[in-house]
Structure 1
Amino acid sequence: MREDRDKQHEENVKKTSCCSNNQIINESTSCCSSKVEEDSTAQSTSSCCSSKSEDKPNTKEASTCCQSTGEASFDSVSSCCSTNDRSDESINEFDGEKASYRVYGMDCPACATTIEKSIKTLKDIQDVKINYSTGRMEVAASLDSAFSSIPSQVEKLGFEIEPLQQNKRMKTYVIEGMDCGACAKTLEKHLRTISDVKEVTVSFATGKMQIEHENSVEDIIKEVSKAGYTATFVTKNRGTTEASLTKGKNNSIIISGILIALGFAGSYAQVADFLTTLLYAVAMVVSGYKPARSAYYAVKSRSLDMNVLMTVAALGAVLIGEWLEGATVVWLFALGVALQTRSIEQTRSSIRNLMNLAPPEAWVKQGSRLVKKDVEEIMVGDVIVVKPGDRISLDGEVVKGESSVNQAPITGESIPVDKQIGDIAYAGTINESGSLEIKVTKVVEDTTIAKIIHLVEEAQEKKAPAQAFVDKFAAIYTPIVFLFALAVMIIPPLIGTGEWGEWFYKGLELLVVACPCALVISTPVAIVSAIGNAAKNGVLIKGGTFLEAAGSIKAIAFDKTGTLTEGKPAVDTVFVVDGTEQQLLSVARTLEEYSNHPIAKAIVNDGDKRGISSLQGDQFKAITGKGIQATIDGTIYYAGNKKLFLEIGAPLEKIMNQVEQLEAEGKTLVIVGTQHNLLGVIGIADQMRNSTLSALEHLKQIGVNQLVMLTGDHEGTAKKIASESKIDRYFANLMPEDKVSAIQQLQSEGYPTAMVGDGINDAPALATANLGIAMGGAGTDTAMETADIVLMADNLEKLPHTIKLSRKALTVIKQNIWFSLIVKAVALAFIFPGWLTLWLAVLSDTGAALIVILNSLRLLRMKG
């Protein structure tokens, strides 16, 4: 599907003879799809790929370019919490079998690195790619049988895994009521006794059941109910929420905490040392078993993650007889991981919740009957019926009925949109009033909401410059501190400056401090939260780079037609020369009623709004390039331009001053009258959007210094629109290449500049700007694919929120980074005077990570 979309996009670009946003127009005027994922080294010098490099987002080369959204890192021993995100190398490059999974329980990018390295050691596995932000893992293997060992390998590392869409016939259910792994096995055994069930897997950890069956969904739900549980059907294309994932971990943490408390109390009650030590030991085993097992497999796959560091620290504490310290370290670590996992899932669920917007089933019209079907079974051309109050399940065209539809889930618009026959309706939107019959135009995988989810998940994988810096810092910091910890344990005692036990303890503290979890997690969580907030408000931000770029914008250039204005001509001025305004408009409507010209339609639409009816006319005749004539009540009337009335000898001189004044204002004029008498002049002009003025005012308030309009219209039109909208500057009479020059002029004046256009016609300017923003993405697939940021609604209403969200995200990232660095610096400084204990070191590490996550989660709640 991705390849088809890229191919279609490439064709669209060629038709417009320009590169889409994020492209380069090279010497041969060729360009390429903005979504090329092949290695940049494979690109020929006459083609191009994304010009907005993560490292140098503003670099524009004339002949070649490369896509750089991250750096590969395949060190034999990865640093704690180092990133696993590689450059956007696609798993699809491999010719073998492919599978996708969702991995639960990762609370730091190091977890993803550990899993990736471990899976790569399995037989017949070609490549593994894990996106920590979304929890998604893609695996390529030379043989299909290689996938069977993946779940057990991941579970050995201490994580939970769920396959995604490997078997197209598999259905997914959420199971409620299971309180242990035995429940899942019991349910599996029960369902396998049913002949219509071909395959079934129940996961207690995720609360999910994957099942292939030939009977109905209702039958399966009944069978699950017989076993004592509740099943809820969800479609394969929608996201999943983590159900009961941490329940077992939470139980072990509670038990471990109680045992430590009993041991601590026992030491004061003069209970035998053997008993208190036993309580601490049991507590360590209960809450430390999973981290220790994960540490074993991490070391086996040559990864140095936080499980390894914490396990070594706990065992070291035991070796020097600090049982309470060791047990406390393990317990605090387990508690911190559980809290981090729970918090980080909130950011992931912000995207997965989008997937639950469209219902899994729909009523399909079959003759005179209505049949309920799964959305996966509905084909293009089927007609679905949507009742008042229901969500629309698939994209389509309204073929019967009228209603108001709440499109906020897709476009962020707060006001419902009226839908009638011929209008497009989107999956996930809410039908508020009348019943609608909708002819399906896209299958479930291709709906607008599905594309939004795909693009947002893709955006989460792309590193921001701040994240790239942090990852490089962590990659250097961790091994240095690790080696320093070993040196602290060995060198001072060898040279006689202290006891072995004392320096061994300090080394253990350094091991704990060596894991920069809070630092590495500071940027991606903030970015994912901000991107999730934007998506919820009808704005698609294509990655962390563009989120950061939006925050630094000081000038925004707007294409006039279709961006600041409606892009449709409308009656703007009515100047009466003889008779009444109603007579003038009535004659004009009569003349223009049978024409398909946009100006004629504007006059007819204006008549509808004013309640002006047409007269009885005949002998209609179009005068090419000049206007139209018709006979009304025996008199020949004309409607047209100045040239037409000069040719028929009409007395234009008495209105020439008004005509010249209206022309100077940029209006298109329609003169109405007879050969001997003029009724008046109608001025036609493009109208400002209702939301434009408030959006521009808001942008001024938040500190955007320059609001600039770019238009191909002449000076008069540009001046009038600029005056109405309080635009700071305008550039008129522009060709597409002139718009590029205007953007470059703003940049040369020191303004980081964004360009707002439609994503296609303004592509050269969009590519030249520091940030390309397309609007109306809900109705334009190409706009969704080409721009850095897409405003799904066909207005500028959400642009100020996008700028504010970006700035807030940058502030949160800076707060997180500085907080993480200061906590680490303080912890390191406190080690050598002996002020830091081992459990305080763990608390500083896990506590700082948790505070960073919670600080980032504030972005999810920022109002649009």
Structure 2
Amino acid sequence: MRQHYRLEGLSCANCAAKFERNLRELPSVEDVQLNFGASKLMVEGEASVKEIERAGAFDDIKIRFEHEKAAAPVPFWRNKEVQSMAYSLPFLIGGWIVFLQSGEESYWAVLLFALSIAIGGWRLLLTGLTNLFRFEFDMKTLMTIAIIGAAVIGEWGEGAVVVFLFAVSEVLERFSMDKARNSIRSLMDIAPQQAAVLRNGKERMVPVEEAEIGEIIVIRPGQKIPLDGTVENGSSFVNQSAITGESVAVQKAVGDEVFAGTLNEEGALKVRITKWAEDTTLAKIIHLVEEAQAEKAPSQAFVDRFAKYYTPAIMIIALLVAVLPPLAAGGVWSEWIYRGLAVLVVGCPCALVISTPVAIVTAIGHAAKRGVLIKGGVHLETAGKITTVAFDKTGTLTKGTPEVTEVKTFSYMDSSTLLSYAAAIERYSQHPLGRAIVEAAKDLPSIDAEQFESITGKGVQAVVNKELYWIGRADERMSITKEMNETIDEFRKNGSTVMLMGQGEQILGAIAAKDTIREESKSIVQKLYEAGVKKTVMLTGDHALSASSIGKAVGIQHIEAELMPQQKLEIIRKIQQEDGKVAMIGDGINDAPALAMADVGIAMGGAGTDAALETADIALMADDLHQLPETISLSKKTLKIIKQNIAFALGLKVLALLLIIPGWLTLWMAIFADMGATLIVVLNSLRLMKGK
């Protein structure tokens, strides 16, 4: 049995790893997947909720079922860690007052410090001692050794300050991680939990989980749409910013698709449900983003490997600092043990371990709220290293809604008959050019076609009136006259795509369709160069003349035309070998091999396309090219912040260690430095929530 849970109280990456280890040791658990970034847990087996919570009792981790509503947030002052910290503070202050008045030998000072340590740090000490007996060395083990060591050498005041500051850092770290996760939690609260469903002619408010596909729901002005569906009745403007990031409302009328979590602004709508609550576009976005946050980026994988050896190394260094000087140079044991304890405290890997995941979680969540779905830290990092962007033409640089501009016959058929036959064949096609032909023939007599077949990269064919016809490009066996060539070249120079229609080896006519270039395409290409992209390429199956006309108009440097899907893949591979990292941007359905081969596959219009959500590394939900340079800039900023975090975390450790040797760094200064490093790393990462 497989169960999914959400976790409360999970703030520490080390604690998450320990929790996962504890779960794997349970005999009733077969498999475990813990997502620290999203605070999610998958458990396969027969483990009960009590057993799972017992495995996380060391950090007071609580669980609830994935779709169970979260309990009201506990006020800050009622948090157990905050209460322990608050209760220990008077004893800490009292201890220092007595100490300053009575000196080091005061038993009252020692008693007050001991009470402060016990009240504020009993959970820490209990966990640390347990870890020590199990030879598990994490930050709580290091802290426990340092506190006990401080007490043994008579530094009770220092030990109490360390306990208090460590509690402060834990509380602030938990608060900061919750802040980073809120980008996704806010998405979860967007869609209404109930829907007004029409049943037997009457409206009934039912939980969205109980609404069924095919039922009609009513959405009044000012209400949010609870489920995905199509408009059956009414017209209104709908704000889709929750899904696509677009701030401008979109007009919806009968037949248009609407998404759960979007806001109906003006008119009343009746919507027929097309997806279950757990399958809505919003639900898929949340699921994919949470999975993305769990996927380790290359820099995070490096930090994890580094931290594995870092903690034991710190313990060895601390031991050497405490033992070598007294043994080799006659140093005072108490002084060097104190410095060794300071090494343990300052060596805590908190800031280092959290430096990458907090940045990745924040960046992916921030992008999702603005209509860009990034499906993993690895793709987020790679996007910042892109040197070449390859564009599909139709639906990417152009709007993807071409219109037939000219029909030319070269045979016994007149133009209307040729268009009618072409529409009969293309009625079964999903290609934008096919839809353009069907739309152009909507006022002509309808003809039926049979045995439709799509031939990848070449076109389509079908039987009409017992004869086999094809639409696409001519091959070398077909004789094209000078008149045909002149007509076709004239169409292509105007930027039109030409589709030939024929029977066997005979060409019957040509249909020209022109797609409108997106208004933003030219400026977007320029912004990509400004964002650090060195090269742009257009990959299209269209004729070289048509492709060149559009490519030059938008500022594309290199144009590759008349390509089969396999040829696009080969060009992507060649660019990778010659120029480095490549991003391929298309519609998420066509050009699948090229999208898969590219270092980053980017799909346009993910909001309306399940295939885009599933296959692309990055989906631009609003079908808006402006999101492309913004995404690359976000990636570069994320990489920069991760490097800053790692450099700062390690740099501060090295500086503190150097200050310990001459005795300039006290225990409480060491913990303050560690706490400060963790907070600065988190706050630096939260900068990713600002701006575009």
Match of 2:69 in 1: 172
Match of 2:528 in 1: 699
Equivalent residue for 1:838, pick from 644, 663, 667: 667
Match of 1:148 in 2: 50
Match of 1:770 in 2: 599
In structure 1, C-alpha distance between the alignment counterparts of 2:566 and 2:84, rounded to whole Å: 66
Describe the shift of the 1:317–1:402 C-alpha distance in structure 2 as closer, same or farther (beyond 3 A): same
Cα pair 1:288 1:330 within 8 Å, conserved = yes
| Partner-residue secondary structure (3-state), 1:370 | strand
| Partner-residue secondary structure (3-state), 2:125 | helix
In structure 2, C-alpha distance between the alignment counterparts of 1:686 and 1:459, rounded to whole Å: 35
Cα pair 2:10 2:61 within 8 Å, conserved = no
Match of 2:190 in 1: 357
Match of 1:158 in 2: 59
Are 1:132 and 2:36 matched, yes or no? yes
Match of 2:464 in 1: none
Equivalent residue for 1:371, pick from 179, 201, 204: 204
| Partner-residue secondary structure (3-state), 1:102 | strand
In structure 2, C-alpha distance between the alignment counterparts of 1:659 and 1:443, rounded to whole Å: 49
Match of 2:507 in 1: none
In structure 2, C-alpha distance between the alignment counterparts of 1:401 and 1:845, rounded to whole Å: 60
Q: Report deviation, 1:258.
A: 3.3
The code of the aligned residue for 2:18 comes to: T
- Superposition pairs for residues 411-490 of structure 1, below 5 Å? 411-490=244-323
Match of 2:608 in 1: 779
Match of 1:111 in 2: 15
| Partner-residue secondary structure (3-state), 1:567 | coil
The code of the aligned residue for 1:365 comes to: L
The code of the aligned residue for 2:309 comes to: I
Cα pair 2:420 2:447 within 8 Å, conserved = no
Describe the shift of the 1:316–1:523 C-alpha distance in structure 2 as closer, same or farther (beyond 3 A): same
The code of the aligned residue for 1:387 comes to: R
In structure 1, C-alpha distance between the alignment counterparts of 2:24 and 2:402, rounded to whole Å: 61
- Superposition pairs for residues 82-231 of structure 1, below 5 Å? 97-141=1-45, 143-144=46-47, 146-155=48-57, 157-165=58-66, 172=69, 174-175=71-72, 207=74
Equivalent residue for 1:342, pick from 133, 155, 175: 175
Cα pair 1:563 1:795 within 8 Å, conserved = no
Equivalent residue for 2:681, pick from 852, 857, 861: 852
Cα pair 2:420 2:446 within 8 Å, conserved = no
| Partner-residue secondary structure (3-state), 2:348 | coil
| Partner-residue secondary structure (3-state), 1:418 | strand
Q: Report deviation, 1:602.
A: 5.8
* RMSD, matched Cα: 3.5
Cα pair 1:386 1:435 within 8 Å, conserved = yes
- CA-to-aligned-CA distance 1:626-669 (integer Å, 9 cap, x gap): xxxxxxxxxxxxxxxxxxxxxxxxxx99x998885334334268
- CA-to-aligned-CA distance 1:189-234 (integer Å, 9 cap, x gap): xxxxxxxxxxxxxxxxx55xxxxxxxxxxxxxxxxxxxxxxxxxxx
- Superposition pairs for residues 805-844 of structure 1, below 5 Å? 805-844=634-673
Match of 2:411 in 1: none
| Partner-residue secondary structure (3-state), 1:556 | strand
In structure 2, C-alpha distance between the alignment counterparts of 1:560 and 1:140, rounded to whole Å: 45
Match of 1:499 in 2: 332
Match of 1:733 in 2: 562
Q: Report deviation, 1:795.
A: 3.1
- CA-to-aligned-CA distance 1:67-114 (integer Å, 9 cap, x gap): xxxxxxxxxxxxxxxxxxxxxxxxxxxxxx333333333333211122
Cα pair 1:737 1:764 within 8 Å, conserved = yes
In structure 1, C-alpha distance between the alignment counterparts of 2:673 and 2:604, rounded to whole Å: 45
In structure 2, C-alpha distance between the alignment counterparts of 1:434 and 1:269, rounded to whole Å: 75
Describe the shift of the 1:772–1:658 C-alpha distance in structure 2 as closer, same or farther (beyond 3 A): closer
Describe the shift of the 1:140–1:490 C-alpha distance in structure 2 as closer, same or farther (beyond 3 A): farther
Cα pair 2:493 2:549 within 8 Å, conserved = no
Equivalent residue for 1:690, pick from 500, 519, 526: 519
- Unmatched segments (≥5 aa) in structure 1: 1-96, 176-205, 208-242, 576-586, 609-613, 626-651, 671-680
The code of the aligned residue for 1:827 comes to: A
Describe the shift of the 1:263–1:777 C-alpha distance in structure 2 as closer, same or farther (beyond 3 A): same
Cα pair 1:547 1:806 within 8 Å, conserved = yes
- Superposition pairs for residues 750-761 of structure 1, below 5 Å? 750-761=579-590
Q: Report deviation, 1:303.
A: 2.4
Are 1:264 and 2:96 matched, yes or no? yes
Cα pair 2:374 2:619 within 8 Å, conserved = yes
Match of 1:674 in 2: none
The code of the aligned residue for 1:812 comes to: I
Q: Report deviation, 1:301.
A: 5.3
- Superposition pairs for residues 590-669 of structure 1, below 5 Å? 661-667=490-496
- CA-to-aligned-CA distance 1:169-195 (integer Å, 9 cap, x gap): xx53644xxxxxxxxxxxxxxxxxxxx
In structure 2, C-alpha distance between the alignment counterparts of 1:246 and 1:554, rounded to whole Å: 51
In structure 1, C-alpha distance between the alignment counterparts of 2:691 and 2:4, rounded to whole Å: 32
In structure 2, C-alpha distance between the alignment counterparts of 1:352 and 1:251, rounded to whole Å: 26
| Structure that is richer in helix per residue | 2
Describe the shift of the 1:601–1:833 C-alpha distance in structure 2 as closer, same or farther (beyond 3 A): closer
Match of 1:397 in 2: 230
In structure 1, C-alpha distance between the alignment counterparts of 2:202 and 2:134, rounded to whole Å: 59
In structure 1, C-alpha distance between the alignment counterparts of 2:139 and 2:447, rounded to whole Å: 83
In structure 2, C-alpha distance between the alignment counterparts of 1:546 and 1:656, rounded to whole Å: 45
The code of the aligned residue for 2:280 comes to: T
Describe the shift of the 1:370–1:775 C-alpha distance in structure 2 as closer, same or farther (beyond 3 A): same
- CA-to-aligned-CA distance 1:473-506 (integer Å, 9 cap, x gap): 1111210221232233334434462122112112
Cα pair 1:743 1:765 within 8 Å, conserved = yes
Describe the shift of the 1:662–1:364 C-alpha distance in structure 2 as closer, same or farther (beyond 3 A): same
| Partner-residue secondary structure (3-state), 2:10 | coil
Cα pair 1:574 1:682 within 8 Å, conserved = yes
The code of the aligned residue for 1:508 comes to: L
Cα pair 1:399 1:439 within 8 Å, conserved = yes
Q: Report deviation, 1:854.
A: 0.6
Are 1:556 and 2:389 matched, yes or no? yes
Equivalent residue for 2:239, pick from 406, 416, 420: 406
In structure 1, C-alpha distance between the alignment counterparts of 2:136 and 2:6, rounded to whole Å: 21
- Give the number of equivalent residue pairs: 642
Cα pair 1:588 1:603 within 8 Å, conserved = no
In structure 2, C-alpha distance between the alignment counterparts of 1:421 and 1:533, rounded to whole Å: 33
Cα pair 2:359 2:688 within 8 Å, conserved = yes
Cα pair 1:709 1:731 within 8 Å, conserved = yes
Describe the shift of the 1:440–1:594 C-alpha distance in structure 2 as closer, same or farther (beyond 3 A): same
The code of the aligned residue for 1:259 comes to: F
- Unmatched segments (≥5 aa) in structure 2: 409-414, 427-431, 450-459, 461-481, 500-509
User: Normalized against structure 2, the TM-score is what?
Assistant: 0.85
Q: Report deviation, 1:572.
A: 6.1
Equivalent residue for 1:569, pick from 378, 381, 402: 402
Are 1:793 and 2:622 matched, yes or no? yes
The code of the aligned residue for 2:11 comes to: D
Match of 1:288 in 2: 121
Describe the shift of the 1:273–1:695 C-alpha distance in structure 2 as closer, same or farther (beyond 3 A): same
- CA-to-aligned-CA distance 1:124-155 (integer Å, 9 cap, x gap): 333433222222223333x45x5433323423
Q: Report deviation, 1:600.
A: 11
In structure 2, C-alpha distance between the alignment counterparts of 1:173 and 1:549, rounded to whole Å: 35
Equivalent residue for 1:724, pick from 544, 550, 553: 553
Describe the shift of the 1:693–1:245 C-alpha distance in structure 2 as closer, same or farther (beyond 3 A): farther
Describe the shift of the 1:485–1:717 C-alpha distance in structure 2 as closer, same or farther (beyond 3 A): same
Q: Report deviation, 1:574.
A: 12
Match of 2:165 in 1: 332
